[in-house]
Structure 1
Amino acid sequence: MARRVYLHIGAPKTGSTYVQNVLWNNCAALRDAGILLPGSAVAHDHAMADLRAAPWRDSDVYWTWDRLAEKARSWPGDVIISNEGLGAATSEQAARAVESLEAAEVHVIAAGRDLWRTFPSFWQQSVRARSGWRFGAFLRAVEGGRAEAFWNNHTAPRMLRRWGDLVPAEHRYLVTVPPPGAPRDLLWRRFAGVLGIPDGLCQLAEPTSNPSLGAAEIELLRRVNLALGDRYPLRTPYQKVVHRHLVDAVLKRREGVPFGVGLDRADWVREQAEQQIKELQDYPCRIVGDLDDLRPTVMRQSISPDELDGEQLLQVAVETIVGMLGHADTLSRRPDGLADTVNVLSRLRTRAAGGVKRRLRLATRRDP
């Protein structure tokens, strides 16, 4: 039976990729120290989707939530389960997750980031998940109280109410994301302190993240999503095609112009940040870092993707097509390219079919 299980539930775009990379890159050393990361990063993602009964989940994957929980329960030491999508679970789903860990001491960790950086991050993630709404429309929806998914899935106060209320107050943590300019390893040191990971146990590579797209690049992807119609509707097909061949291969590699909330909304963002801080001050949990980190400190005028004209987007679209042609050429030159794979599979299938036929003929001859 696991002694303690730490559930790192998000939110997205709070340095979770960096923290998870450190954890998985050092999983052997952690295991030797009595700390288990069950399965793999992909297993945690599949289990999260299963727990949430997400419409885009793959129904035939091996790693369900129950299977991951079973793996966690069988470990005699501490366990870490980390996926930023867990925070979006409903209260009932969160209760199921905690209950599935039986008698283990469950700890819940949520991370918080200032809203000035969070608003554009959330919208970008939604577009990279196949959304087609404009940035300005998203901001107006938040201002008008019509974007509950943002507050539910991307902010710590609501995540902690759904998950944190299921465990004792001393087992709830809010880790604040350091402001720009802070030491690069500070976020990891905050998480490591919560998880009980000794200093020096994990080797820290350069912090990595899920790079943001520029204004033109994310607007191009948004328009591609609209043009796709009902093609690649689920998460895995979209990731295998659009993410692999457009986002990861080309758009992420471009030096795009950053985008963000305009200064005309600066006062409103500050008000929302203060409200969020007040909620967290009133919520009984351990603050790892400083709630001041949730106050925006660097607020500069930024371009909105909505402001781009057709000529700018056309230029980026042409350059993207050129990049995709280079990507396709690289794939075609690889010895393990798609064409070779198809040919190999075809030959194997032919040989297998021939073998079956030969065995059937032999069996027929032997029958009286």
Structure 2
Amino acid sequence: MARRVYLHIGAPKTGSTFVQNVLWANRDRLTGAGILLPGSAVAHDQAMADLRAAPWRDAEVYWTWDRLADKARKWSGDVIISNEGLGAATAEQAAHAVRSLGPAEIHVIVAGRDLWRTLPSFWQQSVRARAGWRFEEFLRAVEEGRCEAFWENHTATRMLRRWGDLVPAQRRHLVTVPAPGSPHEILWRRFAGIVGIADGLCELTAPSANPSLGAAEIEVLRRVNRKLGDRYPLRTPYRRVVHRHLVDAVLKRRANELRFGVGPDRVGWVMDLAEQQIKELQDYPCRVVGDLDELRPAKLTPTAGDDAVDDGHLLEVAIETIVDMLGHADSLSAGTEHPAEGALSRLRNRAAGGVRRRVRRAIRRDAP
């Protein structure tokens, strides 16, 4: 039976990818220290989709939430389950998740980030998940109370109320994301301190690239999404085609110098929301690792709005994107020019290797 289970549930764009990469890169060391990461990163993602009964989940995958929970329960030490999509689970789904991991001591870890950075991050993630709305449309929806998904899926307050209320107050943990420019080790030390990972146990690598797209690049993707119609639906077809060949292979690799963000006309609005959020978290019984002041926007960096990219510049970026995609397609063709022959060759080599191993075993068996 697991002793403690730490559920790291998000929010997205709060350094979760960095934390997860450190965890998985040091999985063997953690296991040796009595801390299990069950399955794999893919398993956690599949289990999350199963728990949420997400419409885009693949029903044929191996890992369900209950299968992951069963593996966690069988461990005798501590367990970490981490996926930023878990925070979007409903209250009923969260309750099922916590029940399924009992009777272990369950801890909930939520990360919070200032709203100045969170608002454009949520919008961009929605576009990268096939949405087609403009940034200004999104902001108006938030202002007018028509975007509950933003508050439910990307803010610590709502996540803590759905998940944190299921465990005692001393097992609720809020990690605040340090201000821009802070050393990435700070976020790791905050997370590791909660779980009890000793200093120096894990080798830290620089945060992997999960960059935000620039203003022109995200606009190209937004317009592509609007033209797709029913083609390449979420989640697997869109990831396999659009993410692989457009976002990951081309758009992420561009300089992305001009950034979307909240304009100066909404500074007061964002600051008021931040103060409200801080007040709610001050009143919520949980352990704060970091400082709630970090949820107050510190660097109101000038950013671009919807009108920052004119059609001439967008056309130029779109043409450059097509050229880069042609190069990507060419490299794929060069690497898989004769896939059938390659597969046949691999089968032959495996078969020959099997014959050689059987012959060696027979020789050893018959030797005096």
TM-score with structure 2 setting the length: 0.92
> 1:46-90 deviations in whole A, cap 9, x for unaligned?
000000000000001000000000000000000000000000000
Determine helix, strand or coil for the equivalent of 2:184. coil
Which residue of structure 2 aligns with residue 166 of structure 1?
166
Task: Could you tell me which runs of 5 or more consecutive residues in structure 2 were left unpaired when the two chains were aligned.
Answer: 348-368
Query: Pairwise mapping of residues 264-343 of structure 1 onto structure 2 (< 5 A)?
Result: 264-334=265-335, 337=336, 339-342=337-340
1: distance between equivalents of 2:5 and 2:11? 18
Aligned amino acid, residue 312 of structure 2: E
What is the CA-CA distance between 1:301 and the residue it aligns to?
2.2
Aligned amino acid, residue 296 of structure 2: R
**Deviation larger for 182-191 or 82-91:** 182-191
Which residue of structure 2 aligns with residue 242 of structure 1?
242
Kept in 2: contact 1:192–1:198 (CA 8 A): yes
Which residue of structure 1 aligns with residue 83 of structure 2?
83
How many matched pairs? 346
Kept in 2: contact 1:216–1:313 (CA 8 A): yes
What is the CA-CA distance between 1:347 and the residue it aligns to?
10
What is the CA-CA distance between 1:207 and the residue it aligns to?
2.1
2: distance between equivalents of 1:232 and 1:290? 42
Which residue of structure 1 aligns with residue 8 of structure 2?
8
Determine helix, strand or coil for the equivalent of 1:146. coil
Kept in 2: contact 1:109–1:172 (CA 8 A): yes
1: distance between equivalents of 2:145 and 2:2? 42
> 1:242-274 deviations in whole A, cap 9, x for unaligned?
000000000000011112110110000000000
What is the CA-CA distance between 1:342 and the residue it aligns to?
4.7
Aligned amino acid, residue 173 of structure 2: Y
Which residue of structure 2 aligns with residue 205 of structure 1?
205
What is the CA-CA distance between 1:284 and the residue it aligns to?
0.3
What is the CA-CA distance between 1:234 and the residue it aligns to?
2.3
Kept in 2: contact 1:112–1:177 (CA 8 A): yes
Q: Aligned in 2, Cα 1:191/1:347: closer, same or farther, shift over 3 Å?
A: closer
Aligned amino acid, residue 102 of structure 2: E
1: distance between equivalents of 2:306 and 2:209? 22
Determine helix, strand or coil for the equivalent of 1:323. helix
Aligned amino acid, residue 112 of structure 1: G
What is the CA-CA distance between 1:182 and the residue it aligns to?
1.8
> 1:127-167 deviations in whole A, cap 9, x for unaligned?
00000011000000001111100000000000000000000
2: distance between equivalents of 1:19 and 1:287? 18
> 1:200-221 deviations in whole A, cap 9, x for unaligned?
0000111224111000000100
> 1:275-309 deviations in whole A, cap 9, x for unaligned?
00011000000000000000001112211144322
Aligned amino acid, residue 295 of structure 1: R
Determine helix, strand or coil for the equivalent of 1:109. strand
Query: Pairwise mapping of residues 1-368 of structure 1 onto structure 2 (< 5 A)?
Result: 1-256=1-256, 257-334=258-335, 337=336, 339-342=337-340
What is the CA-CA distance between 1:183 and the residue it aligns to?
2.1
2: distance between equivalents of 1:4 and 1:242? 39
Aligned amino acid, residue 326 of structure 1: G
> 1:217-245 deviations in whole A, cap 9, x for unaligned?
00100000010100011201100100000
1: distance between equivalents of 2:280 and 2:220? 37
2: distance between equivalents of 1:209 and 1:68? 27
What is the CA-CA distance between 1:345 and the residue it aligns to?
6.2
Kept in 1: contact 2:130–2:234 (CA 8 A): no
Aligned amino acid, residue 329 of structure 2: A
Task: Could you tell me which runs of 5 or more consecutive residues in structure 1 were left unpaired when the two chains were aligned.
Answer: 350-368
Which residue of structure 1 aligns with residue 365 of structure 2?
none
Determine helix, strand or coil for the equivalent of 1:12. coil
2: distance between equivalents of 1:153 and 1:340? 45
Which residue of structure 2 aligns with residue 359 of structure 1?
none
1: distance between equivalents of 2:134 and 2:201? 44
What is the CA-CA distance between 1:23 and the residue it aligns to?
0.2
Kept in 2: contact 1:134–1:306 (CA 8 A): no
1: distance between equivalents of 2:264 and 2:220? 24
Which residue of structure 2 aligns with residue 365 of structure 1?
none
Kept in 2: contact 1:135–1:306 (CA 8 A): no
Kept in 2: contact 1:157–1:276 (CA 8 A): yes
Aligned amino acid, residue 29 of structure 2: A
1: distance between equivalents of 2:203 and 2:215? 35
2: distance between equivalents of 1:206 and 1:29? 18
2: distance between equivalents of 1:220 and 1:306? 14
